[in-house]
Chains A and B, each alone.
Chain A
Amino acid sequence: MSEAIADTGAEAPLKNTPLHELHVELGAKMVPFAGYDMPVQYKDGVLTEHLHTRQAAGLFDVSHMGQAFLTGPDHETVARAMEKLVPGDVLVLEPGSTRYTLLLNEKGGIRDDLMITRMAGAENDGKLFLVVNAACKDADFAHIAANMPAGVTLSVLADRALIALQGPKAAAAMAELAPQTADQAFMTVNETDIDGAACLVSRSGYTGEDGFEISVPADKVEALTRKLLSDERVKPIGLGARDSLRLEAGLCLYGHDLDEDTTPIEGALTWTISKRRRAEDEFPGAEIVLGQITNGVSRKRIGILPEGKAPAREGTDITDMDGNKIGVVTSGGYGPSVGGPIAMGYVETDFAKDGTPLQLVVRGKARPARVAKMPFVEKRFYRGK
């Protein structure tokens, strides 16, 4: 048998998150990921962990991700400074609400995807909370810091951990420790104490399920994690299931489904650019991106359902029914909740319509598939009362 493919590691010594010892104690299989030694799975394995998250609640350590505050004199100043780098509407964000957006380069290519929250409270006017991908965080923060005007400052929160609690029972489990989070709506953030730890609780996630991402002081995260895990509905979930969960939810993995040579329009993320931002024309690569909105793109990100049982992994060639190459799979595998193979990838725009028949060339053999709507599973976000 050949070795299973390992995640790419960094050359430098691996870093640990504040939960490293707990992962080892829980029997996790640790692998290098974005420069960190991270749990890919625990004892139950990827399949069971995935299904548990969809049925109950899964707890993920995502402390490798980058967290920062961007602060300035008032919201408008900070928002407008940030909007020089992203096409998302930061200005109209309500206090306490979050937006998914993209750091773009001058060609309109995606440097990273990120979450931006406008902090609530009068004392927090002019304060944004940023969460970026682990593999990009150093470059992102350097880029943001270098592009801020005088008076707007980036402070990286290196002393904070980040955990995610996801699944249909996440809210109930969370309410045991923090009843104040129960009615919090999707894509909002609350600054609140949980069990003596000053937390930033975001109702969001990367699984398609209801749940939370909780920013916790590094020295308090192990105690909070142990408390959450003492709830029998909550189990620790590794990066393996995190990947299959996000793929079923149709969510992009940066560096795979999105990169510096892909624009938001090609990436089917046009919805992240508001009318005002289109009209203002003031984000990196705006000319290219807005031109693509008007004139269309030559390739587009789509969901793919293989017709047989064979998974089509990242890098699999996509052809038309005559065998001409029309694209490539950027994420693919087995969807445990779907009960079969699923994928996403890029195809020439003529083939991007739902239901279009395609072929996937797996191990030299063309296999039938079709373009499918994403998500592959129903999203179950909590929109509030």
Chain B
Amino acid sequence: MSDIRFTDQHEWVRVEGDVATIGISNYAQEQLGDVVFVELPETGKTLAAGDEAAVVESVKAASEVYAPVSGEVVEVNGALEDEPGGVNEDAMGNGWFVKLKLSDTSELDKLMDEAAYKEFCDGLD
């Protein structure tokens, strides 16, 4: 099984080989409500950890999705541009946003594992 990590900004990152898939957590999609628009970066763009990777908008408001780790954008989930509701349907799976080619795997160590993230979310409610 691939290893999944979370940020305190509610992004997740799942690593396979040297490629990191990034999305927002189920908690985040619930807080946002119905997603009506997603803006994705260009492939080839280089992002540093903490950079704005994408934008996700609900009826009410726009929110930024930040890159949890640094790397080059190798693929974006273009399906979300036509069906932004995919983020609500499967935030942790088919609702992913971008894939990055990792430039520094040690950045992953700074992120929360699933158990720590769950505890973090429980503390927010």
| Min C-beta distance of B18 to chain A, whole Å | 24
Select A310's contact among B24, B32, B39, beta carbons within 8 Å.
Answer: B39
30 contacts between A and B (CB under 8 A): A1-B24, A1-B56, A1-B63, A1-B65, A2-B64, A4-B31, A4-B60, A4-B63, A5-B62, A41-B33, A46-B33, A46-B58, A46-B60, A47-B36, A50-B59, A240-B33, A240-B59, A240-B60, A243-B60, A244-B59, A310-B37, A310-B39, A311-B36, A311-B62, A313-B62, A333-B59, A334-B36, A334-B58, A336-B36, A336-B59
Task: Mark out the residues of chain B between 61 and 80 whose CB falls within 8 Å of any chain A CB in the assembled complex.
Answer: 61-66
0/1 per residue, B32-65, Cβ < 8 Å to A? 1110110100000000000000011111111111
| Min C-beta distance of A373 to chain B, whole Å | 22
How far, in angstroms, from A15 to B88 measured CA to CA in the complex? Answer: 33
Q: Are A309 and B65 in contact (CB under 8 A)?
A: no
Task: Mark out the residues of chain A between 324 and 371 whose CB falls within 8 Å of any chain B CB in the assembled complex.
Answer: 333-334, 336, 341, 363
| Min C-beta distance of A256 to chain B, whole Å | 14
Please tell me the number of chain A residues within 8 Å of chain B, measured between CB atoms: 25
A3 neighbours in B (Cβ, 8 Å): 63
Please tell me the number of chain B residues within 8 Å of chain A, measured between CB atoms: 25
For the complex, is A190 an interface residue (Cβ under 8 Å from B)?
no
For the complex, is A48 an interface residue (Cβ under 8 Å from B)?
yes
**Dominant SS among interface residues on chain B:** strand
B94 neighbours in A (Cβ, 8 Å): none
Q: Are B33 and A47 in contact (CB under 8 A)?
A: yes
Which chain A residue has the least Cβ–Cβ distance from B53?
A1
A333 neighbours in B (Cβ, 8 Å): 59-60
Tally the A-B contacts, defined by beta carbons under 8 Å: 68
Q: Are B34 and A309 in contact (CB under 8 A)?
A: no
Partner-B contacts on A (CB < 8 A): 1-5, 40-41, 45-48, 50, 240-241, 243-244, 309-311, 313, 333-334, 336, 341, 363
How far, in angstroms, from A336 to B60 measured CA to CA in the complex? Answer: 11
B63 neighbours in A (Cβ, 8 Å): 1-4
How far, in angstroms, from A45 to B9 measured CA to CA in the complex? Answer: 22
Apart from A46-B58, A243-B60, what are 10 other A-B pairs with CB-CB below 8 Å?
A1-B10, A1-B64, A4-B32, A4-B60, A5-B62, A45-B33, A47-B34, A47-B36, A313-B61, A363-B39
Given contacts A1-B9, A1-B11, A2-B9, are A48 and B34 in contact (CB under 8 A)?
yes
